[in-house]
Structure 1
Amino acid sequence: MSPLMAQAGQLYTSSTDRVHSDRSTRFGNDGTWSTLTARIGSPPQPVFVLAGTSTAVTTVAGFQWCDNTTLSGYTCADRGRAFDKSKSTTWEGIGHYTLNIRPELTKGQEVYGVTDYGYGEYGRDSLKFVDGEKEVMLDDQVVAVVNDSTILLGSLGLGVETRSFSNEESYEGLLVALYKSGVVPSRSFGYTAGNYHQSPKRPVDLVLGGHNTGQYRPNTLSMKLDANSRPIATLETITVSATGNPPWGPGSQDLLITPVSVEIDSFTPFLGLPEEACRRFEQNLGLIWNSTLNLYLVDETTREKLNTLNVTFQFTLAESPGSRETVEIAVSYSSLDLEIGWPFINETGKHRYFPLKRAAQDGQVTLGRAFLQEAYLIVDHERGNFSIHQALQIPGRTNIVPILHPTDVVSIPQSSDSSNSLSTGVIAGIGAGVGILILIIIILSVIFLRRRRAAQIQSKVEPETTFDEQTPDIAEVQGDFSPFKSRPFSSDSTTLTNPATTELQGDNQYPSERHELSAVNLNPAELDGQQSWSFIKGGGFRRGHPPQQVVELPDTPPATRTKSIPQNPDLREVTHRPISQIITPSTAEGPESSPPWSPMSPLTPDSQTERDRTGRF
């Protein structure tokens, strides 16, 4: 379902383009108003009507009355084209009944001593709206044909109440019928009266079943309809301001001191205010009350002065007295600079007037059609609320937003990029989780840095490794070889934790004591030095015996060393080879008491005893 919209005298759906017509068409005997276009009967008769926000009855001017132009000077065309029920083949009469449209605001006529607030000839007929490509037609709609001077122009009823007559049959209004027929999504509407008193001129804008966001400046204030589904708010203040030198002096001036309940109603053009407020208008604007006509007529001098000063009125509205949330609607004097004619004044022609009325009772306090020239009213009967917004003098692009019935509203899961729709609790939880995560990261970083610093300090204290990382199969033996010592080798020996490296200490003259390298690595180990030592069959190194056979490595240092060793001429280079490659002399050449022995042979308990006793094997 799409909302229906009427603008510049037409209705159209939000899914189609606007239907253009003569926007210069405007009517009124209490101002110049933009009207809506409807077609009634069969064949359809076009009529121009206003929007009636306070009634569910659709009214049109009767054909009989507009022919009598002796006093009024208004023809049928001046009344927005009268409807002739006798030319409609689908008209079904109901009877003559009172209009009952805001009688407290209607100028009654004395007829045989009884005040006549307006009568209509009620009947049922088809009601059609055309948007250029398709039409919306409702049958059996209640229409009241007015054949007196109570109203000049008809109105399109936007209320939701039903009307009953003597036959006790109830008739629904237009908005309810449109909703039940599935034409609009809800019993709601958005409306502004348009403005032909400012430049550029704006036509009426009416959306049935929605509202047009291109016509107003939105606010968040939503107010409740009263028990009779009427938009009644609290009028907190009215202030007036101007440029130049206004009569009240510099700055703004308060015109309403005490807040008052006010109804927003397009049926009347007037601003009905308490008498106290009206007197403040008189004092500050120079208005004069005409007690005979019950009007504020304005002469040309006063009118020109107020227009020159660019006078602006600020209306502050709230849902109830003292509410914190309010909305302000600015209305310029040029929008209230209107003309009025018969039957308000008993003469032909029109006079300039200011649309202010003294409200004799609370029910007459009203912000009428003149106010709605610069305000946009949204009414949602489904939810029982309404809102009022500042209308844009230069409307934006048309954007029709439907107002769905509460039962038709479906909750749609929010997409992942709709971060602004997260609840406050979810946002708080996310924030707390992120904070905890950051704290954990900081703690782990501190622990890591401390451990790293401790490791660096420990590495500076520990001794450096003496073995070659690139050649791990070469063991290095270091020692202090002092010649001519009684004990060729010291009994103290140091073995490195690396099995491939063993350090020997001792003198180098007569090496009668031996130390054994680890058997894990049988590859050659290198001692720094310039001389060669020989292995002698039968027992290690013997002093005074010439070497039987010498196996010697070239005098070349390892390719890479991790620790520099001072050069000592007393050091010798010894190469160690696998046991299988060592040439051992026959046992006959050595002492018979000494078993065959190689430098890589392990020490036995007997040999240890012999060494301790003699100092050598």
Structure 2
Amino acid sequence: MASILVYLSAAVLFAQSTVAFNCSRKPIYVDIHKRAVHDSPVFQYGSFIGLGTPAQNQSLWPSLAQNHTSFASHSYCSDNTTLKDCDRSTGGFFSHEASTSFVMQPNFQTQDRASNGSFSGFFGQESVRLYTHYFETEGASQTLLENSTVEVVTKGSIIPSRVGMGSSSTVLRDLAARDMIAGKTYSLYIGQGFDRAGGAVNGSNVFGGYDSGRFVGTPHMFPMKVANTNSMSVRIKDIIITDTNDRSNVSLFDNKAFTDMQAPAVSFEAQITTEQFPLSLPYQITKNFIARLQAEKDNSWGDNSLKLKNDFNGTLSIVLEDGFTVTFPPEVLMNASRITPIQDRAEDDKQPFLLGSAFLGQVYLMADYETNNFFLAEAVQKNNMVMPVSFCPKTIPVAYQRPDQSEWQRQGLIGAVIGGVIGGIGMLAALYCLWVVVMRKKDQRRLQRDLQKNQKTKMEQFDVEDAPSFDPPPSQTSKAFFWKKI
């Protein structure tokens, strides 16, 4: 019932005029993948964004909790940081002294909550360069956002280079206020090309729009809770483990499958975050997961993800309250080292339940900060075409509709027929060429025979007489006497 009321209220809201928004503005697409960054010895995964004049390029990690776009100073790794492999994990380094466009803001008050105190630094106004880079083999174009407030991080314990996409995002606010995008709308696919995910699929940010080819189906809408550090949260009503081998299903909410539960588990709210990779679920649900798959504690990645003792070929499906289901495939549920995207949780842990980047690797997220609603849809993991479109506030995103295909097209039969026809034509052409060569040789032999025959006939037409014979002169002994010398 609550879900129906939400959709009805949204329909009324979306029916209102959108004249106040310039929805003809094209979105700004910023890709996410590994690249060379300023003053780093290795390629790093993140959003392709530069800062300063001249530009110092960075790989920024998207943050749904942080509001300011932040960059690591050169002192970050030397001032008591606990970030592992700091010199090659910050997303790049920024030197404000080397930039001619940086203006210090010593009295600026942060818009991020004190609870997000994982790092600290100073603020200033700077030129932010958003690079649109559709394909890795092509060059990038630039959208220049001048005099935008940024944070230069000097101390901390986590990755400091971040695109702040919280409910009060300064970069989104500046883009919308300067009529550079349709409104304060944003879309994210985190991708799986970073080390913890262990995949190869890259991600993207779209400011003021969404990539219509990156998701399928009708997006599911949810209200934001801006009072939370992570304003986007969903209610989970079931989690199901499916064994691919025998197709058996077990609900982690089922007290019949897990006899230590007195009653079936109740639905719970979980916040969506990019601050960690694994999912943090209620203690009982986590305990059931451990029991079902024989998992054990592990901290190989420093995030307390659980590890399976044995191989498991199966999936894990998260069912949201409105029925939208997000399924983790076998290679995500258990990587090559048997590490799962489920985090261990203590019984007395009071922290919010979280759906980390592992969850965002399976869905496409679209946020409308003008109405404080967000959308989730099934992500297209391998998207060969980038199709960013404007995301006008108070509207519902629409997925790209792929052309209808006949049964022959879906099964590739047309291609097979065309290939057969082309192959047949090629074979006929080859046979024709061979026939021409043979006939040409045959004509040459016939012509040679005719020439020889004609030559013989011509010779027979001439009258050839025998040569006359002459008596030789007399020899010395047979000379007549009158020839002799007296």
The partner residue of 1:50 within 52, 58, 61 is 61
Deviations 1:401-430 (A, max 9, x none): 211245x99xxxxxxxxxxxxxxxxxxxxx
Supply the AA of the counterpart residue of 1:296. Answer: S
Equivalent positions of 1:356-395 (< 5 A) are: 356-358=343-345, 364-395=352-383
Matched with 2:248 is: 251
Aligned-partner residue type, residue 240 of structure 1: I
Equivalent residue for 1:36?
47
Structure 1 residue 272: Cα displacement: 1.8
1:225 alignment partner in structure 2: 224
Query: Hey, what's the Cα distance between the residues in 2 that align with 1:97 and 1:284?
Result: 51
Partners of 1:398 and 1:101 lie apart in 2 by 32
Task: Provide Cα deviations, 1:436-472, integer angstroms capped at 9, x if missing partner.
Answer: xxxxxxxxxxxxxxxxxxxxxxxxxxxxxxxxxxxxx
Distance 1:179 1:333, change over 3 A: same
For residue 163 of structure 2, what is the aligned residue in structure 1?
156
Q: Secondary structure at the match of 2:332?
A: helix
- Residue 83 of structure 1 aligns with an amino acid whose one-letter code is F
| Contact in 2 for aligned 1:330/1:390 (Cα 8 Å) | no
Runs of 5+ in structure 1 lacking a partner?
10-22, 27-31, 107-115, 162-171, 319-324, 340-349, 410-617
State the Cα deviation string for residues 155-207 of structure 1 (Å, max 9, x = none). 1011242xxxxxxxxxx611011011111101111111112388972101211
Tell me which of 182, 186, 203 is aligned to 2:179: 182
Q: Mind listing any 5+ residue stretches in structure 2 that lack a counterpart?
A: 1-24, 38-42, 133-138, 254-264, 397-486
1:278 aligns to 2:289 (yes or no): no
Partners in 2 of 1:351 and 1:220 — Cα distance?
A: 32
* Equivalent pair of 1:62/1:82 in contact (CA under 8 Å): yes
Superposed, which structure 2 residues align to 1:293-308 within 5 Å? Answer: 295-298=304-307, 302=310, 305-306=311-312
Partner of 1:485: none
Do the aligned partners of 1:175 and 1:187 also contact (CA within 8 Å) in 2?
yes
**Contact kept? 2:26, 2:182, Cα under 8 Å:** yes
Q: 1:42: how far off?
A: 1.8
- Looking at structure 1, the residues matched to 79 and 120 of structure 2 have their Cα atoms a distance apart, in angstroms, of 17
CA contact (8 A) 1:225 1:384 kept: yes
Offset of 1:295 from its aligned partner?
1.5
Which residue in 1 is equivalent to 2:30? 6
The corresponding residue for 2:237 is 236
How far apart are the structure 2 equivalents of 1:191 and 1:377? 5
C-alpha change, 1:252 and 1:403, in structure 2 (3 Å) is: same
Are 1:100 and 1:118, in contact at CA under 8 Å, matched by a contact in 2? no
Amino acid at match of 2:159: L
TM (norm. structure 1) is 0.50
Match for residue 315 of structure 2 among 303, 312, 316: 312
Residues of 1 paired with 2:104 and 2:241: CA distance?
Answer: 50
Alpha-carbon spacing, 1:173–1:97, altered in 2? closer, same or farther (3 Å)? closer
Secondary structure at the residue paired with 1:315? strand
Change (3 A) 1:390 1:362: farther
Matched, 1:145 2:152: yes
The structure with higher relative contact order (CA 8 Å, sep 6+) is 2
How many angstroms does 1:355 deviate by?
Answer: 4.4
Q: 1:281 is paired with a residue of what secondary structure? A: helix
TM-score normalized by structure 2? 0.62
Post-superposition offset of 1:278: 1.1
Contact 1:141/1:174 (8 A) holds in 2: yes
Matches within 5 A, 1:384-463: 384-395=372-383, 397-405=385-393
1:262 Cα deviation from its structure 2 partner: 1.4
SS of 2:122 mapped into structure 1: strand
In 1, Cα distance between equivalents of 2:170 and 2:82: 34
Q: How do 1:158-173 residues align onto structure 2 when only pairs under 5 Å count?
A: 158-161=165-168, 173=170
Preserved CA contact (<8 Å) 1:33 1:195: no
Q: Is the 8 A contact 1:271 1:367 kept in 2?
A: yes
CA displacement 1:447-499 (0-9 Å, x = unmatched): xxxxxxxxxxxxxxxxxxxxxxxxxxxxxxxxxxxxxxxxxxxxxxxxxxxxx
What is the aligned-residue identity percentage? 17
Higher Cα Rg, which structure: 1
1:335 paired residue number: 332
Deviation at 1:358, TM superposition (A): 2.4
Shift of 1:259: 0.6
SS in 1 for 2:200: coil
Instruction: Say if 2:91 is the partner of 1:80.
Output: yes
Distance 1:314 1:376, change over 3 A: same
The 3 A distance-change label for structure 1 pair 217 and 338 is same
CA distance in 2, matches of 1:291, 1:81: 26
In the TM superposition, what are the counterparts of 1:488-507 in structure 2 within 5 Å?
none
The 3 A distance-change label for structure 1 pair 258 and 25 is: farther
Contact 2:79–2:155 (Cα < 8 Å) also in 1: no
Change (3 A) 1:65 1:221: closer
The amino acid that maps onto 2:290 is E
Q: Paired residue for 1:262?
A: 270
Q: Provide the residue aligned with 1:413 in structure 2.
A: none
Superposed CA RMSD in Å reads 3.7
Alignment of 1:56-67 (within 5 A): 56-66=67-77
Q: Deviation digits for residues 300-348 of structure 1, max 9, x if unmatched?
A: x54xx13xx1x21111113xxxxxx421111124335579xxxxxxxxx
CA contact (8 A) 1:98 1:120 kept: no
- Contact (CA 8 Å) 1:287, 1:298: kept in 2 or not? yes
Q: Is the 8 A contact 2:120 2:156 kept in 1?
A: no
Distance change (3 Å), C-alpha of 1:394 and 1:77: same
Structure-2 separation of matches of 1:395 and 1:313:
23
Matched, 1:287 2:295: yes
Residues 211 and 362 from structure 1, CA distance in 2 versus in 1: closer, same or farther, beyond 3 angstroms? farther
